[in-house]
Amino acid sequence: MKVWSKIVMVLIIKVVVGCNASLSDDQRKAFREEMEDREIKKVNENEIFRKALEIGRDVSGKSEVDQDLRLFTASLSDSLALNDTERKVLMAYIYAPDPTQVEDNIQKEGLDSLIYSKYILDEDSVGRVLFVKMARAKAVKAL
């Protein structure tokens, strides 16, 4: 599928240039960026997980995040509203002997999603888990 989109993009550029239409610098830059985004990259799971961990750590301190990320916190009382993977991560933090000593981590959710999680203490010393959900493609594109 990606090969076809690359071929189509090249054909579009050739047609535009072939019709004696000149491209502005902004248009050339946009075409170049589009081609780079569609470039096939070979990455391994470790690289993807490291980048997702980096993205999660970066956004965990922010109150607003990109629209392609989902940032939320949960406690034991919120467990019914979580999906199976989120619930398992929450339980792992809650039942750890000292959850403040557990490192933040990345978990797979299905084939195309990743979940960053980190244990935090609220002002009233209530433990919560911070979750950042992201598409796997976001981490791959950021590499």
Domain ranges within the chain, ordered by starting residue? 2-37, 45-142
User: How much is the pLDDT for 4?
Assistant: 66
d(CA 29, CA 16): 15
User: How much is the pLDDT for 15?
Assistant: 66
User: How much is the pLDDT for 38?
Assistant: 75
CATH of 45-142, one of 3.30.450, 1.25.40, 1.10.10, 3.40.35: 3.30.450
User: How much is the pLDDT for 1?
Assistant: 52
CA atoms within 13 A on the CB side of 14: 6
* Backbone phi and psi for residue 53, each to the nearest 5 degrees, phi listed first: -65, -40
Residue 115's CB: how many other CB atoms inside 10 A?
Answer: 20
User: How much is the pLDDT for 115?
Assistant: 93
User: Mean pLDDT in each 10-residue stretch from start to end of the chain (143 residues)?
Assistant: 66 65 78 78 87 90 80 81 88 85 89 91 77 90 82
Amino acid making up residue 86:
E
Q: What is the CA radius of gyration of the chain?
A: 21
Look up tokens 């990345």; give the residue: 106
User: How much is the pLDDT for 17?
Assistant: 63
User: How much is the pLDDT for 61?
Assistant: 78
User: How much is the pLDDT for 117?
Assistant: 92
Paired residues of 74 in beta bridges: 129
